[in-house]
Amino acid sequence: MSERKMQAEEQEKEQEKRNGENAEIRETGSLELGRPDERSGIELLTIIGEIEGHETVSGNTKATKYEHLLPRLAQAEEDEKIRGVLILLNTLGGDVEAGLAIAEMIASLSKPTVSLVLGGSHSIGGPLAVSADYSFIVPTGTMIVHPVRTNGMFIGVIQSYRNMEKTQDRIARFIADHSRITQERLLELMLDSTQLVKDVGTMLEGEEAVREGLIDEVGGISQAFAKLHEMMEERR
């Protein structure tokens, strides 16, 4: 076989690989890092835009579909080649039940997990950010915590309010159990009426989120990779 033909075949294989990876990112927001012959053992997951639940969001809205993420997380748990999971977040929140389902799945993985908040991780993005074993936030990143909201008409006001209270307690309890903030302090931040113009709640920037105990450390992608590799080596 001529050298030119071999090079053409190699280029064709490389293009097919890139096309497959691009399709995987486009469809599921996930990727196994490294070359096929030398995988790093890290599964990359992205949680971007709105968390889509049982109802499809607007076609113009970027969304993370929980029915895509849950199978990938289950696969990461069972795949022996995957030794760690890195989660990148930039979300305004979305469906509470879907967000909690993803957060519980991440928290229950036996593989080391690291999350990195880029841009923001608001509302139900809070439980997702803290669900990893270790969490980072970039200096300009933000987290917004606020009470549970709902749209539409209430048939039974008292019953609906109680259900919302229970849901809010579930979220606060999960965050407190997976971070250094207390549930009492978190509820104080949720009910602060002095910060947000059209709502109650609190916006925390990078350093503030770490001081409050929501996030473990301020850092970027290199720090997140370094921590994950460290945890993977310790687990090995």
Residues with a catalytic annotation lie at 123, 146
Alpha helices of 47-156 — where are they, by DSSP H?
A: 66-78, 96-107, 125-130
Q: Are strands 63-65 and 38-52 parallel, antiparallel or unpaired?
A: parallel
Closest by CA position to 175, among listed 120, 213, 204, 217: 213
* SS3 assignment, position 163: helix
| 232 vs 226: CA distance, rounded Å | 10
Question: Please, is 31 exposed, middle or buried when counting C-beta atoms within 10 Å of its C-beta (0-12, 13-18, 19+)?
Answer: middle
Q: What is the CA radius of gyration of the chain?
A: 20
- Kindly state the tokens that stand for 114: 């690291």
DSSP 152: S
